Chain A
Amino acid sequence: MNTTPILQCIDVRKSFPKPEGADLLVLDGMNLELNEGQIVGLLGRSGSGKSTLLRLIAGLAEPTSGRVTYLGQPVTGPAAGIAMVFQSFALFPWLTVFENVALGLEAQNMARTEIRKRSLAAIDLIGLDGFESAYPRELSGGMRQRVGFARALVVHPNILLMDEPFSALDVLTAETLRTDFLDLWSEGRMPIKAVILVTHNIEEAVLMCDRILVFGSNPGRILSEIKVSLPQPRNRLDPSFRELVERIYVEMTVRPQGTPGGRQERFPGLGIGSVLPQVSTNRLAGLLEAVAAPPFNGKADLPEIASDLQMEIDDLFPVAETLQMLRFAELEGGDLRLTDDGKAFAQGGVDERKRVFSRHLLTYVPLAAHIRRVLDERASHSARKSRFIDELEDFMSEEEADQTLSNVVRWGRYAEAFAYDDENAMFSLENPT
């Protein structure tokens, strides 16, 4: 096998300019080599920059610094040998299946007969025979993504980029598509040499990839690289498969090194400047109850509870980390362990829960405490939303400030720590009469 890499990323950084001046760094120190015959997985939570990296490789964006090279040449725009499959399929609704597939070839000025031959071959390969003249809206999600695959394969790319291609599909359909893809891949029937798969599904990564790069957030970077040497086809129930999944969970919950006292919030920023995740109090309560109840009894293994509750890491981690921030639970070594107050919350009635939640919110969420303090100090016991937005925007983008404030409103309302009137954009201490 040829061992010179098809694709290389060397010290790639990507940042986006923020209106206030300072740039927002989304990818840092990214090094990656892709060799022939490999499926490499980029695994991480949303916001870890894995999709950004994929777009840099696809030539849809340019790195701020560092290099992406394809066959030794720097990537400066969409390259002919790199094709992409999109999460949302990105089919043109006004073109038929055939026309969608043929589009990439038409852009290459190919002869009509050749376009026809190759398109039909790709449609055939991916199992879309008989659907050539259908419009995307007539197809099910699975069939639409098959069109997405056929459209990418028809240009005979060396590298196939897949951006969470199965995450918009239901569980059954996704599994069928994965299996079909792996069959074609292992039989060498697809005209591609290597694959990069972006995913936030740990099991999917272990099932499909030869190498998994685990991404961390803020800024996006590679935490670790994991080789998967299990033979294909892989079995999800195989103990070594489970072990690998468990190991990745541990990797993803490892605390950053060298933080004093061993505690650092996972959310970017400090004090009132931390960006709060969008997590409703119902989800918090739901996870607390689930972990408190048997069989977990206050301590749950993350992969187990994830499959128990049918949650993907993108759902589970923000909830678990919010619990940790509120000191209702500790997250370590792939486990989630409730604190005493966490247990008290899980067992309490409505009033008890609100009391505990209110206390923790005002103690451990600096922004909530800040809002409460301002309202207490003022004679009118009210304050404009814009006042806090302005303060937050010193630390974060406009969008993040909005999200953070709307979350603290949600939690503050549940805790009855303060009230908020959206119509006038005013915080107050009054409750509606």
Chain B
Amino acid sequence: MERFEPYVFLNKLASRWDVLAFIVVIGLITFLGETSRGLFAPLSQLQSTPVSLDPAHLPEYAARTTFRMMAALLLSLVFTLTYATWAAKSERAGRLLVPLLDILQSVPILGFISVTAVFFMSLAPGRVLGAEFVAIFAIFTSQAWNMAFSFYQSLRTVPIELIEAAESFRLTPWMRFWQLEVPFAMPALIWNMMMSMSGGWFFVVASEAVVVGHTTFALPGVGSYIAVAIAEKNLTAIGWAILTMLIVILLYDQLLFRPLVAWVDRFRVEQEPGAGVPGSWALTMMRRSKLIRASTVAFQAAVLWTSRAIRRKDGPPVEAASRSKRSLDLLWVSLIVAALVVSLWHIFAVLIANTPLKEALQVSGLAFLTMLRVFVLITLASLVWVPIGVWVGMRPGAAQIVQPLAQFMAAFPANLLFPLAVYGIVAWKLNPDVFLSPLMILGTQWYILFNVIAGAASIPTEMRYVAANFRVSGWLWWRKVALPAVLPFYVTGAITASGGSWNAAIVAELASWGDTQVEARGLGAYIAEATTAGDFHRIILGIGTMSLFVVIINRLFWRPLYYYAERKYRLT
């Protein structure tokens, strides 16, 4: 019963968990103070104190990079809680917001940086803060969409009996949101946050060099450090950066995501006792430390206070308010149509009218090249990782080691390794059209691996016994047992990997080492070149084409495949 006593922490002054918690909290506060100090400095400071390759600066750079990640994550969370809620609660808004989200998801993220830079710089003119906004927004665009999607999905699938219970006990909409909907959505949201984070690391490295017009501002951070190291051909510095990144991701994992995943276990609705609840020392620390628990009491009080401040409006529940609003519907539709017409006109005026047919054909050709690359790479990666993933997934011991490793590799920004590859290509005079390609999948192949591991691990033991009992082995076993069983999981992984590879193309198809540039022909290189040249027109054309390709491939290939796999091969 002690959990209802607010003052338990006075019984004993402090436990050893308190000491640990104290150190961590103070560390976090110092870190926030340190990193935010530079935000209001004038922009010129970025040029007067360029990024230094001295490894002694790396902790500070890492802190700045981490700070950006956190800010973007917070922003994504706010976006998720508002945008997705709106889309789920208002049928009218949802009809527009959901497809919009789907499109946004397929826009290559790096394209955003150059397009939005001017706007964000103007928010804090002449300050470093403006450049930070640009970087943070770029990271935000790599995180927000799938989080919002997951939250939207969860809101739409809250079990009806829980909604009825909330209604019949007369919870206010505000209470219902925080006590029912958010907790219910939590597990999926946390998982998507982790996935977003993995994507984010990739882009934080790429987004720290903000190009506005013909000036480049290098924000202090690991990404800028790498950029300088590449420009100066300093292999040792790149080694240091890779090491730093490994440590940062490890810390993030231990201090943020492990505790979150362990904590969120209680929000799962399936009421079976969890098969192996994930553990986390950081969560244990937070739970055991009375100081931290006392501070959560304050938080709970705040939730309670807001719940009370906002009253319930008595009246008929959900279903009633639908018919009378025909005219509003009409207004809404006409608004959308108007917006559509304006956008189409703009697209036509800016893009199509100014694009010679030759250029359009060229861009489509390049897109086909990139598409070819993505498909070949996914196939190759599948040939390697599916057998390995199945093998690992069938052995719980091995899976326990490999699974977190694969997730970790997915989070590691593969672009840190690009310089090494470029160095090799230059040194051995290899064909960049072929040898730059693997970089596109370097970071995303792990999605295939850990999804397949999860799939293989979920094959029911009885099914394996049956296979063993009837001596199904060799190729027959793969064909009839293993591959069908992991197919739904594999498809999920392949979709993520494919999407990530398209995004990575912008970085991977055009790489440099010192003043040597290595280029593979493709849409990614086209966009990267246009970005460097500050050619607004070609940037939009490139991004538009890429988005179009990704959307079409998703609709015509991945989505049908996904539903087919789910329907036919999902073991339930």
Are B168 and A62 in contact, with the CB atoms below 8 A?
no
Are A94 and B161 in contact, with the CB atoms below 8 A?
no
Are A103 and B171 in contact, with the CB atoms below 8 A?
yes
Q: Which residues of A contact B271 (CB under 8 A)?
A: 93, 136-137, 144
Are A78 and B170 in contact, with the CB atoms below 8 A?
yes
Given the known interface contacts A59-B317, A137-B272, A137-B273, the answer about A83 and B168 at a Cβ–Cβ threshold of 8 Å is yes
Are A93 and B268 in contact, with the CB atoms below 8 A?
yes
Given the known interface contacts A76-B315, A107-B312, the answer about A90 and B170 at a Cβ–Cβ threshold of 8 Å is no
Assembly CA distance A78 to B171 (angstroms): 10
Assembly CA distance A58 to B170 (angstroms): 11
Given the known interface contacts A78-B168, A93-B266, the answer about A62 and B319 at a Cβ–Cβ threshold of 8 Å is yes
How many residues of chain A get a CB closer than 8 Å to chain B's CBs?
40
Task: Name the residue of chain A whose CB is nearest to the CB of B266.
Answer: A94
**Residue A27 lies at the interface, judged by CB distance under 8 Å to chain B:** no
Q: Which residues of A contact B172 (CB under 8 A)?
A: 107
Assembly CA distance A131 to B4 (angstroms): 14
Assembly CA distance A321 to B164 (angstroms): 33
B89 to chain A, nearest CB (A): 18
Q: Which residues of A contact B272 (CB under 8 A)?
A: 137
Q: Which residues of B contact A132 (CB under 8 A)?
A: 1
Q: Which of B175-183, B219-227, B393-401 lies on the face that meets chain A? A: B175-183
Task: Name the residue of chain A whose CB is nearest to the CB of B1.
Answer: A132
Are B168 and A107 in contact, with the CB atoms below 8 A?
no
**Residue A293 lies at the interface, judged by CB distance under 8 Å to chain B:** no
**Residue B434 lies at the interface, judged by CB distance under 8 Å to chain A:** no
Assembly CA distance A60 to B316 (angstroms): 8
**Residue A104 lies at the interface, judged by CB distance under 8 Å to chain B:** yes
Q: Which residues of B contact A155 (CB under 8 A)?
A: 169
Given the known interface contacts A58-B168, A60-B168, A103-B171, the answer about A92 and B162 at a Cβ–Cβ threshold of 8 Å is yes
Q: Which residues of A contact B273 (CB under 8 A)?
A: 137-138
Are A109 and B317 in contact, with the CB atoms below 8 A?
no
**Residue B29 lies at the interface, judged by CB distance under 8 Å to chain A:** no
Are B317 and A77 in contact, with the CB atoms below 8 A?
yes
**Residue B320 lies at the interface, judged by CB distance under 8 Å to chain A:** yes
**Residue A266 lies at the interface, judged by CB distance under 8 Å to chain B:** no
**Residue A84 lies at the interface, judged by CB distance under 8 Å to chain B:** yes
Assembly CA distance A104 to B176 (angstroms): 11
Given the known interface contacts A107-B170, A132-B1, A133-B3, the answer about A62 and B161 at a Cβ–Cβ threshold of 8 Å is no
Assembly CA distance A90 to B162 (angstroms): 5
Q: Tell me which residues from 122 to 171 in chain B have a Cβ below 8 Å from any Cβ of chain A.
A: 159, 161-162, 164-165, 167-171
**Residue A355 lies at the interface, judged by CB distance under 8 Å to chain B:** no
Are B164 and A86 in contact, with the CB atoms below 8 A?
yes
**Residue A135 lies at the interface, judged by CB distance under 8 Å to chain B:** yes
**Residue B361 lies at the interface, judged by CB distance under 8 Å to chain A:** no
Q: Which residues of B contact A98 (CB under 8 A)?
A: 4
Q: Which residues of B contact A80 (CB under 8 A)?
A: 170
**Residue B251 lies at the interface, judged by CB distance under 8 Å to chain A:** no
Assembly CA distance A367 to B159 (angstroms): 35
Assembly CA distance A155 to B316 (angstroms): 21
Contact with A along B8-21 (1 / 0, CB 8 A): 00000000000000
Q: Which residues of A contact B161 (CB under 8 A)?
A: 86-88, 90
Are B183 and A92 in contact, with the CB atoms below 8 A?
yes
Q: Which residues of A contact B180 (CB under 8 A)?
A: 92
Are A90 and B164 in contact, with the CB atoms below 8 A?
yes
Task: Name the residue of chain A whose CB is nearest to the CB of B568.
Answer: A423
Q: Which residues of A contact B186 (CB under 8 A)?
A: 94
B91 to chain A, nearest CB (A): 15
Task: Name the residue of chain B whose CB is nearest to the CB of A100.
Answer: B165
Q: Which residues of B contact A107 (CB under 8 A)?
A: 169-172, 175, 307, 312
Are A84 and B266 in contact, with the CB atoms below 8 A?
no
Contact with B along A110-144 (1 / 0, CB 8 A): 00000010000000000000001101111000001
Q: Which residues of A contact B169 (CB under 8 A)?
A: 78, 83, 103-104, 107, 151, 155
Are B266 and A62 in contact, with the CB atoms below 8 A?
no
Assembly CA distance A106 to B4 (angstroms): 15
**Residue A346 lies at the interface, judged by CB distance under 8 Å to chain B:** no
Q: Tell me which residues from 162 to 212 in chain B have a Cβ below 8 Å from any Cβ of chain A.
A: 162, 164-165, 167-172, 175, 179-180, 183, 186
Given the known interface contacts A77-B317, A137-B271, the answer about A104 and B170 at a Cβ–Cβ threshold of 8 Å is yes
Q: Tell me which residues from 61 to 102 in chain A have a Cβ below 8 Å from any Cβ of chain B.
A: 61-62, 76-78, 80, 82-84, 86-88, 90-96, 98
B326 to chain A, nearest CB (A): 15
Contact with B along A151-162 (1 / 0, CB 8 A): 100010000000
Given the known interface contacts A83-B168, A104-B169, A116-B4, the answer about A109 and B267 at a Cβ–Cβ threshold of 8 Å is no
Assembly CA distance A108 to B311 (angstroms): 9
A371 to chain B, nearest CB (A): 23
Are A82 and B168 in contact, with the CB atoms below 8 A?
yes
Assembly CA distance A60 to B304 (angstroms): 25
Q: Tell me which residues from 10 to 60 in chain A have a Cβ below 8 Å from any Cβ of chain B.
A: 55, 58-60
A68 to chain B, nearest CB (A): 12
**Residue B480 lies at the interface, judged by CB distance under 8 Å to chain A:** no
Are B179 and A103 in contact, with the CB atoms below 8 A?
yes
Assembly CA distance A133 to B266 (angstroms): 13
A263 to chain B, nearest CB (A): 38
Task: Name the residue of chain B whose CB is nearest to the CB of A119.
Answer: B4
From A78, A87, A88, A108, name the one whose CB has the most chain B CB atoms within 10 angstroms.
A78
A30 to chain B, nearest CB (A): 18
Assembly CA distance A136 to B450 (angstroms): 31
Q: Which residues of B contact A90 (CB under 8 A)?
A: 159, 161-162, 164-165
Q: Which residues of A contact B314 (CB under 8 A)?
A: 76-77
Are B4 and A59 in contact, with the CB atoms below 8 A?
no
Are B315 and A92 in contact, with the CB atoms below 8 A?
no
Task: Name the residue of chain A whose CB is nearest to the CB of B175.
Answer: A107
Assembly CA distance A122 to B307 (angstroms): 23
Assembly CA distance A60 to B168 (angstroms): 7
Task: Name the residue of chain A whose CB is nearest to the CB of B3.
Answer: A133
Q: Which residues of A contact B316 (CB under 8 A)?
A: 59, 62, 76-77
B332 to chain A, nearest CB (A): 21
Q: Which residues of B contact A94 (CB under 8 A)?
A: 183, 186, 266-267
**Residue B308 lies at the interface, judged by CB distance under 8 Å to chain A:** yes
Given the known interface contacts A62-B320, A77-B314, the answer about A93 and B269 at a Cβ–Cβ threshold of 8 Å is yes
23 A-B pairs in the complex with CB atoms less than 8 angstroms apart:
A58-B164, A59-B167, A62-B320, A78-B169, A82-B168, A87-B161, A90-B159, A90-B164, A92-B162, A92-B179, A93-B267, A93-B268, A93-B271, A103-B171, A106-B304, A107-B307, A109-B308, A116-B4, A133-B1, A137-B266, A137-B274, A144-B271, A155-B169
Question: Which residues of B are in contact with A by a Cβ distance under 8 Å?
Answer: 1, 3-4, 159, 161-162, 164-165, 167-172, 175, 179-180, 183, 186, 266-269, 271-274, 304, 307-308, 312, 314-317, 319-320
Question: Which residues of A are in contact with B by a Cβ distance under 8 Å?
Answer: 55, 58-62, 76-78, 80, 82-84, 86-88, 90-96, 98, 103-104, 106-109, 116, 132-133, 135-138, 144, 151, 155
